[in-house]
Chain A
Amino acid sequence: MKNYADNWEAVIGLEIHVQLSTKSKLFSGASTNFGALPNTQACNIDLAMPGVLPVLNEEVLRMAIKLGKALNADINSPTSFARKNYFYPDSPKGYQISQMDKPIVESGYLDIDTENGVKRIGVTRAHLEEDAGKSLHDDFDGQSGIDLNRAGTPLLEIVSEPEINTPQEAVAYLKSIHSIIRYLEISDGNMAEGSMRCDANVSVRKKGDTKLGTRTETKNVNSFRFVEKAIQYEIDRQINELESGNQITQETRLYDSQANTTRPMRSKEFANDYRYFPEPDLLPINLEKEFIEEVMATMPEMPTQKKIRFVSEFNLSEYDADLLAADKDLANFFEAVVKVSNSPKLSANWIMGELSAELNNENLSINESKINSNQLGQLILRIEDGTISGKIAKEIFEKLWSSDKEVDEIIQGEGLEQVTDDKEIESMIDEVINNNPEQLEQYRSGKDRLFGFFVGQVMKASQGKANPKQVNDILRKKLEK
C-alpha cells in the first residue's frame, strides 16, 4: 500500500440507523420482536392497506429526547414528520414516514478519544423514521419473497458532521454511539441482527485543501471491524483513483465483507427524487417542557460521567475506569461487586482479569456470567479479610464457575481457610528445615536465593493455605538463627 498519509486527508461522515427497542411499531400496534415467521407481525397498517392511518408511539419520543440530551443536542418542538417517496417492494406505502425540516434532535456533539487526545465530532441531527421490510431471494423459482415484519419498526437515524478523519476515529465514534444507546436502553445495538447499521460517507482531499472532494456513500457495513476496513478500503481506492488522474463518481457503494472491497450499486435510468413533503396524516408534535423534564428525570448516568466518578470515587486509574464504564452492564456488575467486597481496585482487577478471560473463553456476555456479582464480591472480601490467599481464591473462582456452590461453602467444605496461626506455621517451618539439612547448610553459607525454595516447601506442606506474609517473616527469622 502506498504511503499517502503525508499528502491526503480523508473526510468521513457517518449515518447510523438505530432500531429502537419499543414493544410495538412506530405507527402501529404490531410487535417488533425479531425472528418471527414472515408477515406474522405485520398488521394492516404495516402492509399499507387502503384507508389505514398511522398513530405515533409515544415511547419513541422519550427515546429520541434521551438520545438528544446524551448528545448535548437541541430538541426541536414542534417536530414533524414528512413523507419520503420511493418505490421498493419492502417499502409498502411507496413512501417512508421520516423527518425532514424539523428532526426531533438537532445540533449536538460527541467527544471521542483519539491517539491525539479528545476530539469533538458534531452530530448534525437525529430523526425518527420507519424501518423497511426484507426481501428474501432464495428458493422462490427466481422470484423474491417479501417479509414485512420489520416494516414500521422505529429507527433513529443519527447523522454526524463530516468531521471524522480516520477509520479509527469512525470506529471510536460508532462505539461511543453504541455505548450511549445501550446506556439509555433505547436499543440493543446488535449490529449482527441489524439493530444498528452504519453508512459511511467518505471523500478525500489533498491536505491543506478547504474544498471537500466528491464523496461516496458506503452501505451495508455491519460490524465495528467492517466499518474500519470498509472506510480504509474506500479511502485507499479514492486516493488511487485520484493519483492515477481519474475522477471520483458520486455514488452509493456496497461493502463486501468477504472480499473486503466496495462496489458501486446499480443505478437506475433516472436519478432519485424523494419528493419530501409534510406528512398530512400526522400533525406537528409539540413537546411540552414538562414532558421533556419528565424524560430527563429518567436519564441514567452516561459513560463519560460514570468514568469520572469511577476515578474520583473508587480511585481507579483512567484506563480501568474507561474500560469498565464503556459497557453499562459491566459497570453495573463492577459496582455490585464493590458493594460486597469494599475493595474497588481488587474488584476491577478480578473483573478485567479472571472474569473477562473466562467470559471470552466461553464467548459469554457479562449478563451470562456463571459467577454473579455477589459471589465475586464475597470471594474478594475473603481475600481482603485474610480468610483465603490469592492463590486459593483462584481455585475457588474455578469452582464457583463450574458449580452452584457459594464462596464460604467451598472454603469451609474443603478446609481452604488460610492458616494464620503463628505456632502452626512455625511447626510447619521447623519440619521443612529439619527435612532439608543440606539446603539449610547452603543457605547459611550465603546462597540467599534458596529462601524461595523454603517458602515453596512450606506452602506445599500447608497445601497453599499458609499466609504467605507470615511464612516469609517466620522463615526468615528461623533461617537466620
Chain B
Amino acid sequence: MALSDQELKEIAYLARINVKEDSLPSLKKELEDILGLFEELNAAETSEISAMSHPLDLSQPTRQDEVTEENLREELLKNAPSVQSGLFLVPKVIEGEE
C-alpha cells in the first residue's frame, strides 16, 4: 500500500497534526507498513454480513428533557489556556471561512 506525500499531507491536515517535512519519509514508511496489515481482510467473504458498530445489540436508552446541570463556569474554565470575560480566547476566527 503506497502512500503519496500529497495524500499524507492531506491526512495530516484533516487530523490537524503538523508533520515536519523531514519526518515525512519515516512516517510514510510506518503508515504503509500498518496499512499493509489491513490487506489480510481482503480475503474475508463479507458480502452477506452486516457491519458491526457496537458490541451491544441493544436499543439506545434516553433521558427525560430536564435541566440537570447548573452553571459551573468558573470551575469548568479553570483549565483553559486563555480566557476573558468568561469566553475562551483563540486567534481571530475569520468569518466566512469554510
Check B73 for interface membership: any CB of A closer than 8 A: yes
Q: Decide: B68 and A24 in contact? CB cutoff 8 A.
A: yes
Check B77 for interface membership: any CB of A closer than 8 A: yes
Size of A's binding interface in residues, CB under 8 A = 59
For A80, list chain B residues within 8 Å (CB).
53
Question: Given that A140-B84, A286-B59 are known contacts, is A40 also in contact with B14, CB under 8 Å in the complex?
Answer: no
Question: How far apart are the CA atoms of A70 and B71 in the complex, in Å?
Answer: 37
Overall SS of chain B's interface:
loop
Question: Given that A267-B98, A283-B58 are known contacts, is A24 also in contact with B87, CB under 8 Å in the complex?
Answer: no
Q: Decide: A43 and B69 in contact? CB cutoff 8 A.
A: yes
For A254, list chain B residues within 8 Å (CB).
96
For B88, list chain A residues within 8 Å (CB).
39, 89, 145-146, 148
Q: Decide: B87 and A40 in contact? CB cutoff 8 A.
A: no
**Shortest beta-carbon distance, B81 to chain A, in Å?**
12
Check B47 for interface membership: any CB of A closer than 8 A: no
For B71, list chain A residues within 8 Å (CB).
40-41
For B66, list chain A residues within 8 Å (CB).
23-24, 29
Check A136 for interface membership: any CB of B closer than 8 A: yes
Check A265 for interface membership: any CB of B closer than 8 A: yes
Q: Decide: B65 and A59 in contact? CB cutoff 8 A.
A: yes
**Shortest beta-carbon distance, A295 to chain B, in Å?**
13
Check A44 for interface membership: any CB of B closer than 8 A: yes
Size of B's binding interface in residues, CB under 8 A = 41
Q: Decide: B56 and A283 in contact? CB cutoff 8 A.
A: yes
Check A137 for interface membership: any CB of B closer than 8 A: yes
Question: How far apart are the CA atoms of A85 and B1 in the complex, in Å?
Answer: 25
Residue of B nearest to A275 (CB): B14
Question: Given that A30-B67, A47-B76, A286-B59 are known contacts, is A252 also in contact with B98, CB under 8 Å in the complex?
Answer: yes
For B64, list chain A residues within 8 Å (CB).
57-59
Check B25 for interface membership: any CB of A closer than 8 A: no
Q: A137-B92, A145-B84 are in contact. List 8 more A-B contacts (CB 8 A).
A: A24-B67, A39-B76, A61-B62, A143-B89, A144-B92, A145-B88, A145-B89, A266-B96
On A, residues with C-beta under 8 Å from B are 22-24, 28-31, 37-44, 47, 49, 55-59, 61, 78, 80, 85, 87-89, 135-137, 140, 142-148, 252, 254, 263, 265-270, 272-273, 275, 278, 280, 282-286
Nearest 4 pairs of A and B residues by beta carbon: A145-B87, A29-B68, A59-B65, A58-B62
20 contacts between A and B (CB under 8 A): A24-B65, A24-B68, A31-B67, A37-B86, A39-B87, A43-B69, A43-B76, A49-B76, A59-B64, A85-B14, A88-B93, A135-B93, A144-B93, A145-B85, A252-B98, A268-B98, A278-B51, A284-B53, A285-B60, A286-B59
